[in-house]
């Protein structure tokens, strides 16, 4: 199986990990639509929501709630957070492995969000993003450490 999220879960691929429990890992999306765009990724390879085990399904939004609190504590998503779960190819699911997006929002950010969604896969500026990822990950880990 050649699944990017299975590779991250198994520590074969790098990621900006922020949180882990028995069911999920939380990481920064490396193709973010907004700063501090998070992914809650299932540890089990479940392509669709209906494939997710019952215990993990019960835990999914508790993890999302905790991550939303950390985002807001660090000033991300103060105006709102989109929770997005693409379930199947027709819903724009690019990686067939269950993951929930938490996308921090600001009032009036729609033009920037649209531009980012159109250009997020271009290689331009990837090096610059690395510094942002490190900074965002450090801030969010700090917020989560205070939450324990």
List the catalytic residues: 99
- Distance of CA 26 to CAs 35, 85, 131, Å? 15, 14, 19
Alpha-carbon distance of 63 to 40, in angstroms, equals 8
Other beta carbons within 10 angstroms of residue 43's beta carbon come to 18
- The 10 Å Cβ neighbour count of residue 12 is 9
Whats the size of the chain, residue-wise?
A: 148
- With residues binned 3-state (H G I as helix, E B as strand, rest as coil), the percentages for the chain, rounded to 5, are 45, 20, 40
């Amino acid at each position: 199986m050649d699944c990017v999220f299975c590779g991250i879960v198994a520590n074969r691929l790098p990621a900006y990990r922020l949180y882990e429990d028995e069911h999920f890992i939380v990481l920064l999306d490396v193709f973010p639509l907004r700063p501090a765009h998070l992914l809650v990724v299932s540890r089990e390879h479940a392509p669709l929501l209906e494939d997710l085990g019952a215990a993990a399904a019960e835990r999914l939004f508790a993890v999302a709630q905790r991550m939303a609190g950390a985002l807001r504590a660090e000033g991300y998503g103060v105006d709102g957070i989109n929770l997005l779960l693409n379930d199947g190819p027709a819903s724009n699911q690019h990686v067939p492995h269950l993951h929930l997006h938490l996308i921090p929002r600001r009032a009036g950010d729609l033009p920037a969000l649209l531009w980012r969604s159109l250009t997020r896969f271009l290689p331009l500026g990837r090096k610059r993003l690395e510094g942002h990822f490190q900074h965002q990950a450090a801030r969010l880990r700090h917020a989560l450490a205070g939450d324990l």
